[in-house]
């Protein structure tokens, strides 16, 4: 095996060097190829396929090298981490736009929707605040969402894509609704 390895070593080195941009890693990859070939020699079906078999091992070892290689630079420790943006400000701005539409719903639905979507309370807490069962709170929130959607659809035309809402245009107010 060693003599045959020596016959292909120069060609394998050239093969690896053309595919790996880190000159220091070329010899390490060749060594890994030799180790893998030595450990798996029993898998070689015929001596005539040794060259192709070694190239396959070299190819797989190069792929392993790129999989484990870090594609990013580590940040210095002296950088201060920015505050985590949990979208709270964006939700608050959106809530300001939606509150007037929510307020137009019947009171029991408006309250449930306000607590669930604007304040972000869990439905068990909503049930406790409204003094109703958990299943009653879930039903009320779901009905409120349906009514709110109907109200939005009556006020606006939406363009929806795979990413969500792409744009919207206000419809002309026909039924004296406040949109």
Q: How many CB atoms lie within 10 A of CB 112?
A: 29
The answer to whether residues 166 and 98 belong to one domain is yes
Residue 147 in domain: yes
The answer to whether residues 113 and 154 belong to one domain is yes
SS3 133: coil
Quote the CA–CA distance of 80 and 91 in Å, as a whole number.
Answer: 26
The answer to whether residues 62 and 108 belong to one domain is no
The answer to whether residues 117 and 159 belong to one domain is yes
Among 11, 38, 68, which residue terminates a domain? 68
Domain boundaries, position 36: 2-68
Instruction: Return the closest-CA partner of residue 10 out of 25, 24, 22, 27.
Output: 27
Residue 154 in domain: yes
SS3 177: coil
The answer to whether residues 92 and 166 belong to one domain is yes
Count of structural domains within the chain = 2
Residue 83 in domain: no
Q: Give the pLDDT confidence score for residue 174 in this predicted structure.
A: 54
Residue 76 in domain: no
Among 12, 40, 68, which residue terminates a domain? 68
4 touches 49 (CB < 8 A): no
Q: Give the pLDDT confidence score for residue 47 in this predicted structure.
A: 65
Q: Give the pLDDT confidence score for residue 61 in this predicted structure.
A: 93
Q: Give the pLDDT confidence score for residue 24 in this predicted structure.
A: 87
The predicted model scores a pTM of 0.47
Residue 77 in domain: no
Tokens of 125: 């807490």
The answer to whether residues 56 and 97 belong to one domain is no
Residue 60 in domain: yes
The answer to whether residues 99 and 158 belong to one domain is yes
Tokens of 76: 């210095």
User: Pairing between strand 156-161 and 164-170?
Assistant: antiparallel
CATH number at residue 21: 1.10.1740.10
The answer to whether residues 94 and 55 belong to one domain is no
The answer to whether residues 32 and 94 belong to one domain is no
The answer to whether residues 64 and 130 belong to one domain is no
Quote the CA–CA distance of 145 and 142 in Å, as a whole number.
Answer: 5
Mean pLDDT by 10 residues, the chain (179 residues): 72 90 89 88 73 89 86 71 64 77 91 90 93 94 92 79 74 60
- What is the DSSP track for 133-166? -HHHHHHHHHHHHHHHHHHHHHHEEEEEETTEEE
Q: Give the pLDDT confidence score for residue 176 in this predicted structure.
A: 47
């Amino acid at each position: 095996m060693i003599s045959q390895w020596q016959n292909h070593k120069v060609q394998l080195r050239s093969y690896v060097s053309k595919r790996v941009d880190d000159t220091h890693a070329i010899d390490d990859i060749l060594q890994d190829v030799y180790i893998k070939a030595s450990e798996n020699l029993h898998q070689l079906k015929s001596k005539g396929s040794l060259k192709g078999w070694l190239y396959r091992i070299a190819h797989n070892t190069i792929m392993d090298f790129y999989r484990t290689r870090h594609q990013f630079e580590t940040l210095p420790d002296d950088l201060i981490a920015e505050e985590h943006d949990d979208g709270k400000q964006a939700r608050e701005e959106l809530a300001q736009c939606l509150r007037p539409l929510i307020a137009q719903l019947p009171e029991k639905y408006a309250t449930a929707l306000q607590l669930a979507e604007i304040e972000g309370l869990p439905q068990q807490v909503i049930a406790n605040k409204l003094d109703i069962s958990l299943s009653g709170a879930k039903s009320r929130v779901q009905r409120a969402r349906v009514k709110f959607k109907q109200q939005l659809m009556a006020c606006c035309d939406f363009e929806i894509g795979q990413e969500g809402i792409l744009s919207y245009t206000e419809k002309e107010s026909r039924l004296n609704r406040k949109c």
